[in-house]
Amino acid sequence: MESLVNKPLAHKIALITGASRGIGAAIAKRLAADGAELILHYGSGKAETEALAASLRDAGCKVHLIQADLAEADGGQRLVARLADLQLPRVDILVNNAGVAPFAGLQETSEEQFEQIVNVNMRSLFFITQGVVPLMPAGGRIVNLGSLVTRTSFPGIPVYSASKGFVDVLTLHLAAELGPRGINVNAVAPGAIDTRMSAWMHGPGGPETLKQIQALEGIGKPEHVAGVVAFLVGPDAAWTTGQVVDASGGSKL
């Protein structure tokens, strides 16, 4: 087993929601490399999450898994109940990463889609945070996954974009509420990142769109976002709270 000496997150326990793939999986790998013990949450991606956990354990990381469908109205509370079953002494780091982004404009959005976005991106995030904070000691960190779409508009995702507005505003207010307890709350706002959620970037017109909107050339990778999360949960961000940190390659500057 690799030594934890000099690792920035040694002896920290981190819960990451939506860790089965994409940005959540990249965050898991990065926080494991930084020495954290991990609780990986998944919804339907059991096999992917188990494979990720196995590779992290091979590298010496302690990993726990919890399943909860966050599209259910009480999904967040179920996750918290399953977390309690693990009987861990505390949770030092919470990364609220799970999210959905169905493409549907104003007239196309069904009630089911609206409810799914609200439940996964807003309701669960809130109740997971409510349930985890009592387990968090001073020095705790919360990072929420926001999005570039709160700063500039993109067609076809009005409800998703508004849900990320909720994330930004909640981040600000929880930072104020939890600061006296020594808990920092920040958000990361990725632009287009190469995951299943942004598969459009490989479709017709995708590469051209990226070229037009980004100041930096190339494709945003989950690891770019994971690096910002690692900073926000690590010792260098001790004096940073209530912020939304961009990770968009300078999109629409």
Ligand X SMILES: NC(=O)c1ccc[n+]([C@@H]2O[C@H](COP(=O)([O-])OP(=O)(O)OC[C@H]3O[C@@H](n4cnc5c(N)ncnc54)[C@H](OP(=O)(O)O)[C@@H]3O)[C@@H](O)[C@H]2O)c1
Catalytic-labelled residue, pool 42, 154, 160, 166 = 160
- What is the residue whose two structure tokens read 């910002």? 228
Q: Rounded to whole angstroms, how far apart are CA atoms 24 and 134?
A: 23
Is residue 160 part of the annotated active site? The answer reads yes
Tell the smallest beta-carbon distance from residue 89 to ligand X (Å): 25
Cα dihedral across residues 218, 17, 239, 178: positive or negative: positive
Nearer to ligand X, 238 or 253 (CB): 253
Nearer to ligand X, 90 or 202 (CB): 202
What's phi and psi for 12, nearest 5 deg? -100, 145
Other C-beta atoms closer than 10 Å to the C-beta of 199 total 10
* Cβ neighbours of residue 13 closer than 8 Å, sequence gap 6 or more: 36, 37, 38, 39, 88, 89, 90, 91, 92, 93
Tell the smallest beta-carbon distance from residue 195 to ligand X (Å): 3
Nearer to ligand X, 10 or 47 (CB): 47
Contacting residues toward ligand X, per CB under 6 A: 18, 20-24, 42-45, 69-71, 97-101, 120, 145, 147, 190, 192-193, 195-198
Nearer to ligand X, 23 or 36 (CB): 23
Q: Is 173 left (phi over 0), alpha (psi -120 to 50) or beta?
A: alpha
Tell the smallest beta-carbon distance from residue 2 to ligand X (Å): 26
Tell the smallest beta-carbon distance from residue 149 to ligand X (Å): 7
Strand partners, 38: 14, 63
**Catalytic residue numbers?**
160
